[in-house]
């Protein structure tokens, strides 16, 4: 698992609405600050990698709601705030969005991708 998801997973979320807004804003700001693609010879973390890591985390833990639901909640936040919009700037980013769509669709239909 990549270091970025570990950060997202370790953020405590309690019933306080203010804390939830803080977590939401932090995730959105983090995603929006990432470069779309890795630079420096692939040594930097990118939005492409973040999305791929989240999809991989969900796929590898399909039987664990405590892993899959937070990933889906992160995607929900990122989609609501257009934080993933920049992915469409490249073919690779579009492919990642397609992978996310297919993952969600397959889970709704009860099939794994």
Averages of pLDDT over runs of 10 residues in the chain (113 residues) are 49 58 87 85 81 87 84 88 83 68 62 48
Mean confidence (pLDDT) of the chain: 75
Total domain count, the chain: 1
- Distance CA(82)–CA(101), nearest Å, equals 15
Positive or negative, the CA dihedral 40, 78, 68, 99 is negative
Q: Could you give the 3-state DSSP secondary structure of residue 101? A: helix
> pLDDT by residue (tens digit) across 81-105?
988 888 877 767 667 766 776 666 6
What is the span of the domain harbouring residue 40? 3-109
The helix or strand, by DSSP H or E, that contains position 16, with its residue range, turns out to be none
The pLDDT value recorded for residue 29 is 93
Q: What is the pLDDT of residue 113?
A: 46
């Amino acid at each position: 698992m990549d270091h970025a998801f570990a950060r997202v997973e370790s953020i405590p979320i309690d019933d306080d609405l203010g804390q939830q807004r803080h977590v939401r804003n932090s995730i959105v700001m983090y995603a929006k600050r990432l470069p779309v693609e890795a630079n420096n010879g692939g040594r930097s973390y990118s939005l492409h990698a973040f999305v791929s890591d989240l999809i991989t985390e969900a796929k590898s833990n399909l039987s664990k709601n405590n892993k899959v639901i937070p990933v889906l909640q992160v995607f929900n936040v990122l989609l609501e705030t257009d934080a993933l919009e920049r992915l469409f700037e490249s073919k690779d980013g579009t492919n990642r969005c397609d992978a996310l769509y297919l993952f969600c669709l397959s889970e709704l239909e009860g099939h794994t991708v």
